[in-house]
Amino acid sequence: MASLIPSILLFKDPHTQIVLVGVALVLLIVVIFAVHSCSAEKEDEGEQNSFTSFLRFFYASFLKPHTGDGTGNGQQDALESFYKAQAGVYDATRKRLLRGREDMLELVAAQLVHKAAKDRTHDTKLIWVDIGGGTGWNIEAMSAFVSVPDFFSSVYLVDFSPSLCEVARKRFTRLGWKNVKVVCQDARIFRLEDHEKGPDTLGFASPTFTTSYLEGNAGSVGGADLVTLSYSLSMIPDFYSVIDSLGFLLGPSGTIGVVDFYVQSIVDLSCRNYTGGFINRHVNWFGRLFWRAWFDVDRVGLEAGRRDYLEYRFGTVLSVDSRNYLLGSIPYYVWLGCSKRPALNSSDYPHEIVERLDAAVTESPYLSPVNHTKALSRTVETSAPAELRSKAFDAAVVNLSANLPLPSFFYQNHHWRIYYDDQLQKHAQFKHEYIYAFTWEDSRVDHRLLKLSADDVVLAITSAGDNILSYALSSPARIHAVDLNPNQNHLLELKVAAYTALPYADFWKLFGEGRHPQFRSLLCSRLSPHMSSRAFQYWLQHTNIFDAPRGRGLYETGGSRHAIRVVRVLATILGLKSQIKKLLEAKTLNEQREIWTKKIRPFIMSKLLSYFVVSSEKFLWAALGVPHNQLAMLEADHLASESISNPASPDSPLGHSAKELDSTRGQAVWEYMIQTLDPVIESSLIGSENPYYLVCLNGAYTHRCHPDYLAPKSHAKLSRPNAFNGLRIHTDEINEVVTRLKPGSFTVAVVMDSMDWFDPGSEEADGQIEKLNRAMKIGGRVLLRSAALRPWYVDSFENFGFVGRRVGARIGGACIDRVNMYASCYILTKIEDITPSPKNPSRENSVDLEKLEL
Q: What digits encode the pLDDT tens for the residues 205-241?
A: 333 333 443 344 444 467 899 999 999 999 888 899 9
Mean predicted confidence (pLDDT) in 431-446: 92
Contacts of 308 by beta carbon, 8 Å cutoff, 6+ apart: 268
Query: Does 731 score more than 90 pLDDT?
Result: yes
Q: Indicate if the pLDDT at residue 19 is higher than 70.
A: no
Phi-psi region of 73 (alpha: psi -120 to 50; beta: other; left: phi over 0): alpha
Backbone angles phi, psi at 277, to 5 degrees: 115, 160
- Of 121, 127, 346, 118, residue with least CA distance to 223: 127
Q: At what angle do helices 691-698 and 561-573 cross, to 10 degrees?
A: 60
Phi, psi of 831 (to 5 degrees): -115, -10
Coil vs helix vs strand at 182: strand
Q: How many CB atoms lie within 10 A of CB 255?
A: 27
Helices (H), 502-587: 504-508, 519-522, 533-541, 544-547, 561-573, 577-585
Q: Which residue has the higher pLDDT, 307 or 59?
A: 307
Report pLDDT for 845: 37
Q: What angle do CA 37, 41, 43 make, to 5 degrees?
A: 105
519, exposed or middle or buried, with CB in 10 Å at 0-12, 13-18, 19+? buried
CB contact at 8 A, 810 and 823: yes
pLDDT value of residue 3: 46
Query: For residue 39, what pLDDT band results from cuts at 50, 70 and 90?
Result: very low
What is the distance between the alpha carbons of residues 443 and 470, in angstroms, rounded to a whole number?
Answer: 7
CA distance linking residue 727 with residue 495, whole number of Å: 13
Strands annotated E in 310-402: 314-324, 330-339
Check if the beta carbon of residue 432 is closer than 8 Å to that of residue 538: yes
Q: Give the pLDDT band (50/70/90) at residue 665.
A: low
Q: What's the confidence (pLDDT) of residue 527? A: 98
Burial of residue 646, with CB atoms counted within 10 A of its CB: 0-12 exposed, 13-18 middle, 19 or more buried:
exposed
Mean residue pLDDT of the chain comes to 79
DSSP label of 787: S
Helix, strand, coil shares of the chain, percent, nearest 5, are 50, 15, 40
pLDDT of residue 659: 65
pLDDT of residue 117 exceeding 70, the answer is: yes
Confidence grade of residue 77 (pLDDT, cut at 50, 70, 90): low
% of the chain beyond a pLDDT of 70: 72
| Per-residue confidence (pLDDT) for residue 388, from 0 to 100 | 60
More confident site: 815 or 843: 815
Distance CA 115, CA 411 (A): 13
* pLDDT value at 783 more than 90: yes
pLDDT at residue 326 is higher than 90: no
Query: Minimal CA–CA distance to 490: which of 545, 441, 452, 442?
Result: 545
Counted residue by residue, the chain has a size of: 854
Q: What distance in Å separates the CA atoms of residue 256 and residue 247, rounded to the nearest whole number?
A: 10
Yes or no: say if 204 and 198 are a contact pair by the CB < 8 Å rule. yes
- Give the C-alpha distances (Å, rounded to integers) separating 430 from 427, 441, 697: 6, 22, 26
Contacts of 335 (CB under 8 A, 6+ apart): 256, 257, 258, 259, 276, 307, 310, 311, 316, 318, 319, 320
Provide φ and ψ at 285, rounded to 5°.
-60, -40
Mean pLDDT of 251-260: 94
Percent share of the chain, pLDDT over 90: 47
Kindly list the structural domains of the chain, giving each domain's residue range(s) and its CATH number in brackets, ordered by start.
96-339 (3.40.50.150), 349-415 (no CATH), 435-531+711-830 (3.40.50.150), 561-698 (no CATH)
CA 462 to centroid of chain Cα atoms: 14
Tell me the mean pLDDT in the region 486-495.
97
Residue 594: the pLDDT is: 94
Is the Cβ–Cβ distance between 623 and 560 less than 8 Å? yes
> What stretches of 642-790 show up as alpha helix (H) in DSSP?
658-663, 665-683, 686-689, 691-698, 712-718, 734-739, 763-775
Among the ranges given (58-62, 110-114, 448-452), the one the predictor scored with the smallest mean pLDDT: 58-62
- What band does 667 get if pLDDT is binned at 50, 70 and 90? confident
For CA atoms 480, 484, 490, 495, the dihedral sign is negative
Give residue-wise pLDDT tens across range 598-648.
888 887 776 666 655 555 555 554 555 567 788 788 878 778 776 644 544
pLDDT at 218: 44
Give the tens place of pLDDT for each residue, 151-173. Answer: 999 999 999 888 889 989 999 99
For residue 145, pLDDT over 70 is answered with: yes
pLDDT score for 762: 86
